[in-house]
């Protein structure tokens, strides 16, 4: 088992990463709690909820199971969680456990942040992608006008990450999570990046998962410790995301997982960085790895102009420029303002290059 300490403005919290640690979750609670509410979704509940309840049998435990997927990150589900917590008699000495992927982590985290002005919660990530969302303290639900528009910074008291549960993820979710690991490696660690390029994401051992997730979380926690509130260096974690957010919206949410879109966004960032910094960057080796691992690469239905329009709506865009993270080199990220017409030329050349390769 690996242990990591994440620093936040209010407290430091441990992250435990290991195989089968869900069966002993009681050992990792930071203190005694009057009662516990486990929040999970209807894919995860039949697989792992009983294990958690068994490990917590000496506590008063209630559970709430919400429908799986992004649609549960809404104000109605959020309000119902509060009602159920009141029905169960949760008080300020109670604990919430978020057992699930990033959706449950964000929803249960925000519920914990607001219930009686804030009670303790633990993240138990069950997806690879949630290695990213599980730390850093960003919690949120969606507004009908946009993702994550209602939320707060509210770090958990611990993160308990059992990598055994990741084997039941389907291939798309595995690809999705590994894209964020690739991003973290590109931001900070060339050796880690090269090691990831030897990974077959559809055939992962427990040892490999523990090591990769530990490294990814080390990188994210180091960045978040420097800038918890997202004012400067934390924005580097958006590498690949300006393109990815536009692409997800363009193909329609749910058609492509977030991480699959991020992987293409990373490729686009390498395409632009290579041209802007005249620096040899691993565009081809990343593309080869994505091909070997069955990432979606066919963007023949995507128009550069439509992507450009979407990017112009990004929070960080101005009338003349679109801001994105580039790499002056591996492990050397920079914020860059690209003039609109230049961005369009890069989109056209990237989409052409990709269609020639696939």
Query: Residue 72 gets which letter from DSSP?
Result: G
Residue number, 221 or 273, with CB nearest to ligand NAD: 221
CB of 132 to ligand NAD, least distance (A): 5
In 10 A of CB 150, how many CB atoms?
16
**What is the C-alpha separation between 52 and 20, in angstroms, rounded?**
11
How far are the Cα atoms of 19, 30, 122, 160, 304 from residue 26, in angstroms, in the given order?
15, 9, 12, 11, 52
Judged by CB under 6 A, the residue of 36, 85, 100, 256 near ligand NAD is 100
User: Does 123 participate in binding ligand NAD (rule CB under 6 A)?
Assistant: no
Distance CA 189, CA 339 (A): 29
Residues in the interface with ligand NAD (CB under 6 A) total 31
Cβ nearer to ligand NAD, comparing 251 with 328 = 251
Tell me the C-alpha distance between 6 and 224, whole Å.
Answer: 8
Q: Where are the beta strands (DSSP E) in 81-229?
A: 95-100, 120-125, 138-143, 146-153, 158-162
Q: Does 106 bind ligand NAD (CB under 6 A)?
A: yes
- Verify binding: residue 148, ligand NAD, rule CB under 6 A: yes
Strand 12-18 vs strand 2-7: parallel, antiparallel, or unpaired?
Answer: antiparallel
Nearer to ligand NAD, 20 or 357 (CB): 20
Shorter beta-carbon distance to ligand NAD: residue 19 or 126: 126
CA-to-CA distance for 206 and 202, rounded, in angstroms?
A: 12
Site for ligand NAD contains 74 (CB under 6 A): no
Which 269-328 positions form the footprint of ligand NAD (CB under 6 A)?
none
Distances (CA, A) of 104 to 25, 42, 64, 160, 341: 18, 11, 11, 14, 40
Q: Do residues 38 and 64 make contact, with C-beta atoms less than 8 angstroms apart? A: yes
Q: Does the protein bind ligand NAD through residue 99 (CB under 6 A)?
A: no
Give the pair of three-digit tokens for residue 42: 């209807």
Subset of residues 150 to 169 that bind ligand NAD, contact rule: CB under 6 A: 165-166, 168-169
Nearest residue (beta carbon) to ligand NAD: 102
Q: Does 41 bind ligand NAD (CB under 6 A)?
A: yes
96 binds ligand NAD (CB under 6 A): no
Identify which range of 20-28, 126-134, 316-324, 325-333 contacts ligand NAD by CB under 6 A.
126-134
Query: For binding to ligand NAD (CB under 6 A), which residues are involved?
Result: 41, 43-44, 47, 68-70, 73, 100-104, 106, 126-127, 129-130, 132-133, 136, 138, 147-148, 165-166, 168-169, 173, 176, 258
């Amino acid at each position: 088992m690996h242990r990591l300490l994440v620093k936040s403005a209010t407290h430091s919290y441990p992250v435990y990463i290991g195989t089968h640690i869900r069966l002993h979750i009681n050992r990792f609670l930071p203190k005694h709690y009057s009662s516990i509410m486990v929040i999970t979704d209807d894919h995860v509940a039949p697989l792992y909820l009983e294990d958690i309840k068994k490990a917590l049998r000496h506590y008063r435990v209630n559970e709430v199971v919400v429908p799986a997927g992004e649609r549960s990150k809404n104000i109605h589900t959020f309000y119902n969680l509060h009602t159920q917590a009141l029905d169960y008699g949760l008080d300020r000495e109670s604990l919430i456990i978020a057992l699930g992927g990033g959706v449950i982590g964000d929803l249960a985290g925000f519920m914990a942040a607001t219930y009686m002005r804030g009670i303790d919660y633990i993240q138990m990530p069950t997806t690879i992608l949630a290695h990213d969302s599980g730390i850093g303290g960003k919690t949120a639900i969606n507004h009908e006008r946009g993702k994550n528009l209602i939320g707060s910074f509210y770090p958990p008291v611990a993160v308990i990450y059992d990598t055994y549960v990741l084997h039941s993820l389907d291939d798309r979710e595995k690809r999705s999570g590994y894209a964020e690991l690739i991003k973290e490696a590109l931001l900070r660690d060339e050796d880690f990046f090269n090691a990831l390029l030897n990974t077959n994401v559809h055939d992962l051992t427990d040892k490999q998962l523990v090591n990769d997730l530990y490294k990814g979380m080390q990188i994210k926690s180091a960045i978040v410790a420097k800038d918890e509130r997202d004012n400067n260096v934390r924005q580097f974690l958006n590498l690949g995301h300006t393109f990815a957010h536009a692409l997800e919206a363009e193909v329609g949410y749910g058609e492509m997982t977030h991480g699959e879109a991020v992987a293409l966004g990373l490729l686009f960032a390498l395409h632009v960085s290579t041209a802007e910094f005249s620096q040899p960057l691993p565009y081809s080796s990343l593309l080869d790895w994505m091909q070997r691992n069955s990432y979606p690469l066919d963007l023949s239905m995507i128009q550069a102009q439509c992507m450009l329009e979407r990017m112009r709506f990004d929070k960080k865009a101005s009338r003349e420029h679109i801001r994105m993270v580039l790499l002056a080199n591996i492990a050397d990220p920079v914020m860059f303002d690209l003039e609109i017409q230049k961005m369009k030329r890069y989109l056209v050349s990237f989409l052409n290059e990709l269609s020639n390769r696939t």
